[in-house]
Amino acid sequence: MPLSLWLSLVAVCAMGAMSPGPSLALVLRHTLGGGRLPGVTAALFHTLGVGFYALLTVWGLGALIARQPVLFQTITWLGAAYLAWLGIKALRAGRGGTWQRAEVHPTTRTQAAREGMLVALGNPKLILFFIALLSQFVSPDMSIAAKALIVATAMVIDGGWYLLVAMVLSHSSVLPWLQARAHWINRLTGLVLLGLALRVVLGPLG
């Protein structure tokens, strides 16, 4: 995989991981309710769920591209529409959102592991988001090593972001700072997602 293409993959995966949603709320809740270890546990098991979906998506898209180009194009356009919807939703989130909805409840590492996996596997938007992203990076003749690199990149970025969230939020002074700037985080995420949607419409990355 060319370096420029991989860097594009890194950018879109980072935006996907950092976009406020149920996954972020989960890590916030377990970190604030149980401390660093439950937060880290939730992050790691969420990453396993993400890796499972990434693996299915990468291996399935190759056959889809080769056999059903019209269907592939339809999915690509639906993915672009979904990215745009996420961007608009983030722009309209304002000062509220995930950062201020996190509630503190007692939690354990076992609960964090279970819920981290279930939030990833039980979120239908996650698989659609992967299709919208990875459809721009997968080709029918792509090697197994390149596919493995895509899966590993998605997992490392997702896991790295949520681990960072859990570690940083272990310090109680950080959350108020994030809450005060939530509207700027939402706006930046929204603009990037709208840009990605436009890039999908214009054609495959390369």
- pLDDT per residue over 33-81, tens digit each? 777 788 889 899 999 988 888 887 788 765 666 577 777 677 667 767 7
Which tokens sit at 86?
């996420």
| Calpha distance 83→99 (Å, rounded) | 21
Model confidence pLDDT, tens digit, residues 23-41: 777 787 777 777 778 888 9
| Calpha distance 135→29 (Å, rounded) | 32
| Calpha distance 141→132 (Å, rounded) | 19
Please report the sign of the dihedral spanned by the C-alpha atoms of residue 29, residue 30, residue 35, residue 40: negative
